[in-house]
Amino acid sequence: MNARRADALRRAGHARGFTLIEVLAALVIVALGMLGVIEAVTQSARNGTYLREKTLAHWIALNVITEKRLRQEPPPVTESSGDVEFAGQSWRWRMQVTQTQVASLRRMDVSVRPADAPDSSALATVTGFYGTAIGAAGGGRLDWSGADKTGGSGDGDNEGDGTAGGDKPGKAAKPDGSGQPGSPPPGPSPETPTAPVEEE
């Protein structure tokens, strides 16, 4: 009697437990899920590193273009390269200078990559321009002809900026020779010279 009861209890215990195959299947499912999570975390970290390096490379390219634009002489129309240490890492930049259709304007294409990366793996490429056709700091007249003309000679080099001849900037001369609206009518006067005077 006791033997039968013990056997029945043993069978009931086996029915309530898990088999070895079920345990192995559960472990395989958990392992596959963990692999997916690990891959997602690794990809996120890789993307963060790539974006950081791309941002640094973009800054380096902007610095190179700014240094070239601050020089007095224009960059030669050729290809140049150099190395720089930035953010605790070695970088290599390459610049290609080309002449544009405007005689006084040159184009600079700068690409940057890590020093140990191949030449074709540029992280960032920035384009800038150098020339007298670019406004200087604080504003001013743009010289598109390539020659540095100064003063008001009335030969048309001040077109577009509201000047004419020797008048002050921003004050266009009237056909009758008078100044701004509200000025006295033209004519000889003992205090006002009749001939136009050019201002330096």
Q: How many domains does the chain have?
A: 1
In this predicted structure, what is the pLDDT of residue 89?
Answer: 92
In a domain, residue 182? The reply is no
In a domain, residue 96? The reply is yes
In a domain, residue 191? The reply is no
Is the CB of residue 28 less than 8 Å from the CB of residue 21? no
Residue 92: give the domain boundaries: 1-135
In a domain, residue 128? The reply is yes
pTM greater than the 0.95 cutoff: no
DSSP string, 74-138: PPPSSEEEEEEEETTEEEEEEEEEEE-SSTTEEEEEEEEEETTS-TT--SEEEEEEEETTSPPTT
Chain segment 142-160, per-residue pLDDT in tens: 555 654 444 444 444 444 4
CATH number at residue 77: 3.30.1300.30
DSSP string, 109-120: EEEEEETTS-TT
Q: What is the chain's alpha carbon radius of gyration, rounded to the nearest angstrom? A: 38
Chain segment 158-200, per-residue pLDDT in tens: 444 444 444 444 444 444 444 445 445 555 444 444 444 444 4
Q: What is the mean pLDDT of each run of 10 residues along the chain (200 residues)?
A: 67 67 92 93 91 95 94 92 94 96 92 91 94 65 54 43 43 47 49 44
